[in-house]
Amino acid sequence: MAWRWISWRWMAATGAAIVIAATGVAVTLARPRSTPPAVAAPAKVVRFPTPSAAVPEGYAGLVEEAQTLVDWIVARHPSRPQSTALAATIAAERGDQETAAALWQTHLERHPETAEGWYRLGLYAVKEGRDAEAAEWLERARRLDPSLPDIQGHLGRCLLKSDRVDEAAEVLEPAIGDDRGGAVRLFHLGHARLRQEKNTEARAAFQGAIDRAASYTGAWYGLATALARLGLADDAERARAEFRRLKAEDAENAAKNLSRDESARMRRLLAGWYAAAGRIAALDGDTQEAKALLSRGAAVEQAALPSAAPPSTAAGDGR
Amino acid sequence: MVLSSPHRLALSFGVIVLVLVLVLVLVLGCGQPRPPGTPPRATSAAAPIRFVDATEASGIGFIHTDGSSGRRYLVEPLSAGVATFDYDGDGRIDLYFPNGALLPGAEPGDAESPPRHALCRNLGAGVFRDVSLAAGIDCRDYGLGVVAGDVDEDGFADLFLTTFGAKRLFRNLGDGTFVDATESAGVADGEKVGAGATFLDADGDGDLDLYAANYVRFTLENHRPRSFKGFPAYAGPRDYPPWPDTFFRNAGDGRFVEASVEAGITAVAGPGMGVVCLDHDDDGDTDIYVGNDALEGNFLFENDGRGSFRETALSAGVAVNRFGAEIGSMGTEAGDADGDGRIDLFVTDFQPDLPVLFRNLGRGQFEDATAATAAGSGAWQFVTWGTAMADFDNDGRRDLFLACGHLNDNVEAFDDTTAYRNHNLLLRNVGGRFVDASAAAGLHDIPRHAARGVACDDLDDDGDLDVVILNSREAPTLLRNLDRERGGSNHWCQVRVRGRQGNRDGVGAKVILHAGDETFVDEVHAGRGYQGHFGTRLHFGLGGHPAIDRIEIRWIGGGTETFTDVPIDRLTELTEGNGQAVAAPGSPPGP
């Protein structure tokens, strides 16, 4: 009979092997929580950005030059997290978050301890409304480097949006002791307190945010909400009046921002990216390349001065 | 075949291991976070709500046009809302689709049949026929909004349209035809970019007055080309000053008198979009809530009972979201989301901000409850437009339907977190919290469009609420709710309210239904959602309640009246003054 050649020992051994294999598969599948899978970068022809060329006037030309820069810097200095950061930043500026995230994924495959990588992935996830994942990645970034820009604020906000209100409050609470900054964190802490129905603490948090940034419109609105909940109707109305006044100012500023020239903004960004690229080259000891990159950055920055180019088509979608 | 014990043991062990492997792979495979950059997948509840795309079978041939040519005139993405109402009094809910019109630079297409609006008569069995021309509606204006209401109290719903241009009133003659009464009624209101509109009895005199929101002072001559990250984009509300909205008082003789200044409406101005009325402070008169697009905050016009208004949105807590930020308001909806007997407000928003649910706390005060209720679930990346707060599974809790679609048709080129065409969202109300049930409801299986207006009504008279969606540049979508076909066992009740002293459709009346230990509340609206109209026939899901104890109606300009012996699972007509529930013509069959 066919079954006779299958000994029970063989079956048991096969079963054990399958268990081990399954565990391996499971671990592999679970790994993206800490290390996302690699994404192969497309092959590109890499050329050095021409240092002496005229600075493009239009947005599209500037973006093209930025891409040339990033292709060069990633090819020349692939192991530097700064290279990935630069490439991802430029991709995100172009609205290509998928590429930006893939760049960091590739980098994190090799350097999982890069705090900035988890931080950026977290911020991309925030932009896509994936707050639970964002919180996970930002938490990891915070463990690796608590000094990342406003990491507590970003993490607290994600936790709050993920309905993890108590955890959010815990992350944001240290902002109370930060007498130099932390207005945004206090603002989010105020909202966490409102969600916890701790209205007195909410009032204190919003007031703290206002003490640090007097024209923080959102904090004035939060303060009005907390005061109204505490039954302090007159105080709430005063906070609303201040909110209304600041909003009117905001509206004026928003109108000014609308007329901002898109190409000029891009030139300023590109100048900053050249400076970052120069620093990367310098870190790897390539002084000549660093000089060339910084010099091109200076040329681009010069072109970004208001007199350099007339305002082109108005930017923004009017919102 | 006979196996020895060790073999059986080994075989069993092997099978168990294989099953475990499969389970592990499936569980862990599903549980891993998506790689960043891919669109998020909705978390679906185990929802009983299920829709099927019934567009093709419906015979609706309407195709929307925005009249675009690539110049990107501001009005293109704003067209249009949609209306569901019974125009011929046969008890079936008919459809009205406003249409755009050709703008400069657009290809003329078929000169014999330029784009026009469509009135589609419900023939029953889910079939509709375009009767526009036979009904005397040959409207080729650039349509933006629509609202239905019986302005002359003759028992038939008239139509008011907002357009890019003059506003229009079509009076229903009661014989299946309409006549253009714009001029005689005096409602043209110059050349503006119109928006949502609502009928209301503002002064309690028994006839319907009219509030029409206006957008911004855009004309073809002051068109501004815009770009975003180097790509052409539409101008927005900040590019032009807003028009104040318009209020017309019904003179009672077929004319409307423009009374915006006297009514206190022009004290403020914002880029208006969706409008909905409600008695926000429960003082027995009708207030007006106006969604403004990204500027000025939303308006709440509090009625003094005599038709004079004061703007109080900020104090009431409905001007801005909880962070103090203006909402890119598109559609506005009113309904009791949390079942506490008070009418809450819901506002759709621009991407990447969430729509906002304002919970009514009583005493005219509201609070942004979006986070606490998850009312924005799944909407983060979408521009959301039309919306309806409706009980799709008759469980007694109002769910949320949101129409999604970006305004820039090239958005994918500069923002890969969103898309021009999207699936729509169904947020199921589970014990006061909203769960994204879009996938389970079949909305992911339906072709994606750039949706705008949404209307919800029982289009096939089977006791559950169906959905019709106006899609920009494409055919509309008709979603048939399969709740009853799939054996939905919850009870329901539909109520058609008839005023006698008050306005004939009972617009503004508050209807309070008592069943067992629960109370269900609604108001009769004329104009809601994204610049549209639906739900004049009130629909209450009753859950497992086998009977209705009583229905109280608080009439505008009148007292409160109680109706008993109201049957379940039927459409019932409740007429002011007679206290008796009467089976309505066209009433769906009982259980």
Q: Which of B28, B74, B222, B404 to mutate to test the interface with A (most CBs of A within 10 A)?
A: B28
Q: Which of A168, A121, A119, A125 is nearest to A146 (CA)?
A: A119
| Residues facing residue B493 across a β-bridge | B540
Model confidence over B506-541: pLDDT tens digits?
A: 999 999 999 999 999 999 999 999 999 999 999 999
Q: Are B84 and B93 contacting, i.e. CB atoms less than 8 angstroms apart?
A: yes
* pLDDT value, residue A129: 82
Q: Are strands B571-575 and B491-498 parallel, antiparallel or unpaired?
A: parallel
Considering only CB atoms, B324 lies closest to which of A18, A243, A314, namely A243
B280: which 2 tokens?
């926000």
Residues of A in contact with B328 (CB under 8 A): 319
pLDDT band with cut points at 50, 70 and 90 for residue B35: very low
Q: Reply yes or no on whether the pLDDT at B477 is more than 60.
A: yes
Segment B340-351 shows an average pLDDT of 96
Question: Would you say the ipTM is above 0.95?
Answer: no
A206 touches chain B (CB under 8 A): no
**pLDDT bucket at A26, cuts 50 / 70 / 90:** very low
A39 band by pLDDT with thresholds 50, 70 and 90: very low
Torsion of CA B20, B22, B23, B25, to 10 degrees: 120
Closest to B533 measured CA to CA, from B271, B196, B120: B196
Decide if pLDDT at B68 tops 50.
yes
Q: How many CA atoms lie within 13 A of A52 on its CB side?
A: 0
Residue B471, beta-bridge partner list: B451
Q: In this predicted structure, which of A32-41, A77-86, A264-273, B579-588 has the lowest mean pLDDT?
A: A32-41
3-state DSSP call for residue A264? helix
* Residue B28 scores a pLDDT above 60: no
**Residue A7 — pLDDT band, cuts 50, 70, 90?**
low
Confirm if B47 and B435 have CB atoms less than 8 A apart: yes
pLDDT band, very low/low/confident/very high, at A61 (cuts 50, 70, 90): confident
User: Distance from A48 to chain B by nearest Cα, in Å?
Assistant: 24
| Cis bond before residue B352 (omega within 30° of 0) | yes
How many interchain CB pairs under 8 A, A with B? 202
CA–CA gap between residue B413 and residue B283 (Å, rounded): 50
- What residue in A sits closest to B417 (Cα-Cα)? A128
Look at A12 and B13 and tell me if their CB atoms are within 8 Å: yes
Under the banding of pLDDT at 50, 70 and 90, the label for residue B193 is very high
pLDDT attached to residue A44: 58
Among chain B residues, CA nearest to A247:
B296
Looking at the predicted structure, is the pLDDT value of residue A151 above 60?
A: yes
> What confidence tens digit (pLDDT) does each residue in B219-243 have?
999 998 888 888 899 999 989 999 9
Contacts of A311 (CB under 8 A, 6+ apart): A259, A261, A264
CA angle B67, B292, B186 (to 5 degrees): 70
Do the Cβ atoms of B294 and A319 come within 8 Å?
yes
What is the pLDDT averaged over residues B302-317? 97
Cβ contact, residue pair B11, A29, below 8 Å: no
Asked if A233 has any chain B CB less than 8 Å from its own CB, the reply is no
User: Is A316 close to B371, i.e. CB distance below 8 A?
Assistant: no
Whether A64 has a pLDDT exceeding 70, the answer reads: yes
Tell me which residue in A18, A33, A104 faces B32 most closely, judged by beta carbons: A33
Band of pLDDT at residue A260, cut at 50, 70 and 90? low
pLDDT-based confidence at residue B588 (cuts at 50, 70, 90): low
- Residue A159: half-sphere exposure toward Cβ, Cα within 13 Å: 24
Using CA atoms, how far apart are residues A160 and B540, in angstroms rounded to an integer?
34
Among B328, B356, B347, B319, smallest CA distance to B236 is for B328
Of B37, B228, B296, the CB nearest to A317: B228
Pairwise CB contact (< 8 Å): A125 & B32 = no
Number of neighbours of residue B326 by Cβ within 10 angstroms: 25
Residue in the structure block whose two tokens are 């004049």 = B536
Contact assessment for residue B230 and residue A317, using Cβ atoms and an 8 Å cutoff: no
Task: Judge if the upstream peptide bond of residue A311 is cis by omega within 30 degrees of 0.
Answer: no
CA dist A315 and B233 (Å) reads 9
Q: Is the pLDDT of residue B112 over 70?
A: no
Q: Does residue B589 register a pLDDT over 90?
A: no
Record: contact A191-B323, CB cut-off 8 A? yes
Residue A108 has pLDDT above 70, yes or no: yes
Q: Residue B521 — φ and ψ, nearest 5°?
A: -125, 140
Instruction: Identify the band that residue A8 occupies on the pLDDT scale cut at 50, 70 and 90.
Output: low
Do the Cβ atoms of B101 and B113 come closer than 8 Å? no
Q: Is the pLDDT of residue B31 over 50?
A: no
Which residues of chain A are within 8 Å of residue B230 when distances are taken between CB atoms? 58-60, 63, 262
For residue B314, the chain A residues in CB contact (below 8 A) are 240, 243-244
The answer to whether the predicted template modeling score (pTM) of the entire model surpasses 0.90 is no
**Any B CB within 8 A of A37 CB:** yes
Task: Tell me if B323 and A317 make a contact (CB, 8 A cut-off).
Answer: no
Beta strand B399-404 with B425-430 is: antiparallel
Chain A residue with minimal CA distance to B7? A8
Q: Is residue A31 very low, low, confident or very high in pLDDT (cuts 50, 70, 90)?
A: very low
